[in-house]
Amino acid sequence: MVTREAAADSAAGPAVRTYQVRTYGCQMNVHDSERLAGLLEAAGYRRAAEGADADVVVFNTCAVRENADNKLYGNISHLAPRKQADPDMQIAVGGCLAQKDRDAVLRKAPWVDVVFGTHNIGSLAALLERARHNRVAQVEIEESLREFPSTLPAARESAYAAWVSVSVGCNNTCTFCIVPALRGKEVDRSPGDILAEVRSLVDQGVLEVTLLGQNVNAYGVSFADPRLPRDRGAFAKLLRECGHIDGLERVRFTSPHPAEFTDDVIEAMAETPNVCPTLHMPLQSGSDRVLRAMRRSYRADRFLGIIDRVRDAIPHAAITTDLIVGFPGETEEDFAATLDVVARARFASAFTFQYSKRPGTPAAEMPGQLPKDVVSERYQRLIALQERISMEENAAQVGTTVELLVATGEGRKDASTARMSGRSRDGRLVHFAPGGADIRPGDIVTTTVTGAAPHHLIADAGLLAHRRTRAGDAHAEGRRPRTGVGLGIPGIGAPPKAATSDGCGR
């Protein structure tokens, strides 16, 4: 869980209501929470001071994992005594679980004031006001996208790194995944709109952007603007255009789908200097039989072939993945195939999950649901293998020179070790010794790796260089980028008559 809390405006009078957004789940949800914060601030709310009770608490939920429901309702129940003592305090539940549960949220937690879905996050402020005025809970769940989320104001969390959505929704039908049912079919933004947002962020000091989509490889086939033709090469073109933006130092993207990963994207990654040498590509399983059952339209050999081509073009690329253990019907032979692909791929790291049955997905009704103890035992074997590989891959970095974008909140032990933390260009987390220099999050430092662990690197040799940046200045001054207003980003539906550039080189 990521809890968004910031200092309230000290000059605000007692009439100003404060808010807090609690976020569960993926990067999409984190970025949606930035929009929720921007909407509330545009409506006159202020973020609650750290540790203070907020007048409005918004839960932005995830429905991917089985324990998401229990976690949400457990946390909501902790607020029931506050709500009873202060009826003006409000609780709102949005996101994927709200889209799934709908009216059930109020049945399980009748003290909630607002329930809204993934397609209408722009309604939050109005729903809160209506609930206050009418003293009746408001539930509003749209079945399709009302407006492109990037049209909404966003209060960004970071002064130096930002998420930028290239699309919403997903056209895949993976049998384990509930996301398409909750976020809808894929809708793509025009390249011009995306690049306008990126330029706006860079103008405000941002150094790094991550392009977000449920399947970024499919970008270009479902443009919201019907005047734009389908373009299978649109994502590679978008990466190259990002390379022409002055001041944009790092570009990342997540997540591609192996079935649609094309060589033009690899070429764009290799030939665009600010595109980082890192790739997160979900494998899910190394068994072709299980991949078929998952409706993942690629096979292990294709996946490994993509990795080979990426490493041929970008030899030092750090490749990460997602893996599911214990999918219905998975045999020991199937699991051994996953271990084999992991051993051959040598991922820098992996997000590993024990299969979780989600009502409404085809996999939930499949025969061969595995006992918990079998899944847990396989999971531990997979973790052990990947930890060993991650340790070996990180140990190979010792002695190398790394450029770090200094980050905040990455190192849990930084205070006790007197280190700071940052991300290398390939995405690895590095804890480094600042050596007494006045370094701010958002600055760039160069140092030498002196030690390794499975999930991070250590750099205690002293700094080779330190560059103060506008992002560091903005962080030190408490300034956060804001987007979503004045960018000319269209909503869903008929486009305006005036022609706009598609933003990519022609």
Binding-site residues, please? Answer: 26, 62, 96, 170, 174, 177
The distance of Cα 267 from the centroid of its chain, to the nearest Å, equals 24
Give the tokens for residue 179: 């996301």
Q: Cα–Cα distance between 428 and 347 in angstroms, integer? A: 12
Q: Which residue spans within 9-120 are E strands per DSSP?
A: 18-23, 46-47, 56-61, 90-95, 114-116
Q: Cα–Cα distance between 207 and 469 in angstroms, integer? A: 9
489 neighbors 166 (Cβ within 8 angstroms): no
Q: Which residue has the tokens 């609780």?
A: 91
Q: Cα–Cα distance between 54 and 276 in angstroms, integer? A: 39
Residue type, 230: R
What are the Cα distances from residue 140, in Å, to 42, 44, 101, 411?
21, 22, 12, 39
How many other CB atoms sit within 10 Å of the CB of residue 204?
Answer: 18
How many other CB atoms sit within 10 Å of the CB of residue 133?
Answer: 8
The distance of Cα 443 from the centroid of its chain, to the nearest Å, equals 22
Q: Cα–Cα distance between 27 and 82 in angstroms, integer? A: 30
Give the tokens for residue 273: 């200097």
Nearest alpha-carbon partner for 46 in 9, 90, 13: 9
CA triplet 97, 98, 102: central angle to 5 degrees? 120
Binding-site residue numbers for [4Fe-4S] cluster are 26, 62, 96, 170, 174, 177
Nearest alpha-carbon partner for 330 in 362, 388, 371: 371
156 neighbors 34 (Cβ within 8 angstroms): yes
For 36, the 3-state DSSP assignment is helix
To which H or E segment does residue 403 belong? strand 401-407
Q: Cα–Cα distance between 340 and 301 in angstroms, integer? A: 11
